[in-house]
Amino acid sequence: MAAKILVVDDDQNVQRQLIYTLKQEGYEVVQASDGAEGFRLWGAEEPALILLDVTLPKLDGYQVATKIRAEEGANGHVPIIMLTAEREVEQKVRGLRAGADDYLIKPFHPAELLARMKSLMARFTPRDVLVGRPPLGRIFAFYGAKGGVGTTTIAINAAIALNRELGRKVCLIDGNLQFGDHRVFLDLGLDRKSIVDVVTAPTIDIDLIKNVVVKHDSGVDLLLAPPSPETAELVTQEHLPNILDQLRSLYDYILIDIDKKLDELNLRILDAADTIFVVMTADLSCLKNVRLVLETISHLGYEQAKVHLVLNRSNAFTGINVKNAESALKRTIDHQIVNEYRGAISALNSGAPFMFTKADSLLGRSMLDFARAIDKMTPEAHRQLASTAQR
């Protein structure tokens, strides 16, 4: 089993960074935003290690560490790494006296954090608990910079390309919960099961999800949006991250097509995603939106490597070429999909995706190039790409 890490920090940006780093390494993560909740989760979840901020509401980090050490007694020892922005030696000594095993000053490099964690867990964690686990299925979130840029078309056809052309096991999720279009684009009726059948069940597990996903003729498994807008409210911000985590063990890739609202539900999806593909076109209003999206994502604390720009209809004449778009955005456009508007519209109106019926078309070949590119990208390659993306 994978080691469980408890993250106790009231800064949401720090939480997101830590959760992303830990999940990339294969750890299971639970989180708390105040000291009292952190202490409760220590008892309820029995984590293999705790990352504990010093400055917390209700109980500070020193108090939490002291209470944990008093409660566990001689029966066990959970490693605690304290996190703080304070550099004074007195603060470090106070943390160690409270029961911390190590101390990290913010900001710190993820590699240093992971090295210290693994060292502590090698000393204190039972041998049947793994320090990490091999990476499971990767989650790709597709986010449109504005309406009409082709996000859903790209998500659907990328899923089919990964499955039919590259032999990957793929699940496609319609994350536009109120007004999802996957049923229409794939010619599926309202009688098919949806995510509502998952979230209204007493418990969510792999067997349930297997019974709810819809098998499309293309070979891709689908988790459809609710059949009506009002039932979308049944899906909460807690449900989708849980479902995505379950799907990781079943598929090579999980592609989720989300709407443009950056609400808490969609932020939880973006947290869980390994890569966010921001789909755009080369026009002024879209470029403006992309800049705002990139700024927002940066403020959320995501690594730049997590975000890829996908220019759809790249050969369409808009008066703005790729070089101009990159200059305006101050970063490289990572992927380009050609413009073949008639073929795309015909496929949409017929309910037959072009990668399923016309994979050898110009548009199909361009989509296959995109699928091959993202299939070849390892997490390390994503990080290397980010180092060259900033102009």
pLDDT tens figures, 263-314: 889 999 999 899 999 999 999 999 999 999 999 888 888 888 899 999 998 8
Cβ atoms of 153 and 159 closer than 8 Å:
no
Q: Across the chain, what does the average pLDDT equal?
A: 87
Amino acid at 298: S
Q: If you ran DSSP here, which 8-state letter would residue 360 be given?
A: T
**pLDDT for 223 beyond 80:** yes
Token pair 């959970």: residue: 78
Segment (H or E) for 182: helix 182-185
Cβ atoms of 107 and 83 closer than 8 Å:
no
Cβ atoms of 81 and 51 closer than 8 Å:
yes
**pLDDT for 329 beyond 50:** yes
- Highest mean predicted confidence (pLDDT) among 96-100, 110-114, 152-156: 152-156
* Per-residue pLDDT reduced to its tens digit, 57-95: 999 999 999 999 988 866 678 999 999 887 778 888 888
Q: Would you state the pLDDT for residue 219?
A: 92
Q: Would you state the pLDDT for residue 192?
A: 94
**Numbered ranges of CATH 3.40.50.300 in the chain:** 138-389
**pLDDT for 132 beyond 70:** no
Q: Would you state the pLDDT for residue 50?
A: 96
Cβ atoms of 259 and 180 closer than 8 Å:
no
**Numbered ranges of CATH 3.40.50.2300 in the chain:** 4-124
What distances in angstroms separate CA 167 from CA 103, 162, 163, one per listed residue? 46, 6, 5
**pLDDT for 316 beyond 90:** no
Residue 188 CB neighbours (<10 A)? 15
What is the signed CA dihedral for 42, 47, 49, 53, rounded to 10 degrees? -40
Q: Which CATH architecture has domain 138-389?
A: 3-Layer(aba) Sandwich (3.40)
C-alpha span between 23 and 29 (Å, rounded) = 7
**pTM of this prediction?**
0.66
* 4-124 CATH, one of 3.40.50.2300, 3.40.980.20, 3.10.290.10, 3.40.80.10: 3.40.50.2300
Lowest mean pLDDT among 102-106, 217-221, 316-320: 316-320
